[in-house]
Amino acid sequence: MNDNPAQRPARPKIRVVKKVAAAPAPAAAAPPAGPADPRGERVSKLMAERGLCSRREADAYIERGLVFVDGERVTQLGTRAAPDAAITLAGEAKAQQARQATLLLHKPIGYVSGQAEDGHQPAVVLVGPRSQMDGDPQRFQPGCLKGLAPAGRLDIDSTGLLILTQDGRVARQLIGDDSDVEKEYLVRVEGSLDARGLALLNHGLALDGKALRPAQVGWQNEDQLRFVLKEGKKRQIRRMCELVGLKVTGLKRVRIGRVKLGDLPVGQWRYLREDEKF
């Protein structure tokens, strides 16, 4: 046996491995609150629902950095926020809204409300300096025609009050899905109408497979009915009358919300006054 330590074979080193407990998986981070809250609604949708502007205008303001959510500037389209988030507009956006025009036009028969169709001109062509109502304190400015659009329809065979606006807030108030603004019409009819038919005009009719909202319908005089509606389906009053055996021979809208046609002459227009609200 060799006792010389220098000549002994080296012992293999034994490596001790300690077991280390696996680290717990990190808890899922809570979604950030405020302007980037993925649990919330799109900021543009919230703005439209609150009547701050239309969704299209909201997107434009967001892109320009003119929207603040809970005090933080928002610039990214599609940003979401909590439903109760505080949303404000920069002063520049408010100033722009203040310059947006809303007009009242007494639409004649023969003009369509929106885009030209079947050779008929849109009612907006009637807006100009020569057709402005006498006594309107605010004079015509060509800039009021840019982006001017009807807030609601009035068919080619009808006359009366038509609202034209550059303001998305006004458009949404009058024609939004949740609009509750009354529209009043005087409707000349031919035919006979019994008590049951009159009751159906007030509530119980359907168009295009969908029940109509309750209306207020009564006799204005012996050949003219007064309709008050809170919706505006295409040719709604004419179709309602047909369902109860009446034929419409004349239709005139005289009021939208609290704004009346008044003595505005046919084919003329005026600005919505500061003291007028729908």
Local structure of 197: helix, strand or coil = helix
Q: What distance in Å separates the CA atoms of residue 273 and residue 112, rounded to the nearest whole number?
A: 25
Q: Distance between CA 33 and CA 86 in Å, rounded?
A: 12
Q: Tell me the three state secondary structure of residue 36.
A: helix
Between the CA atoms of 111, 116, 119 and 124, what dihedral angle is there, to the nearest 10 degrees?
40
Q: How many CB atoms lie within 10 A of CB 138?
A: 13
**DSSP code for 221:** E
Residue type, 259: V
Separation between Cα atoms, residue 27 and residue 154, nearest integer Å: 59
* Distance (Å, whole) CA 181 – CA 160: 17
State the pairing for strand pair 159-165/247-256: parallel
Catalytic residues: 155
User: What whole-number distance in Å separates Cα of residue 202 and Cα of residue 266?
Assistant: 29
Residue 114: count of CB within 10 angstroms of its CB? 13
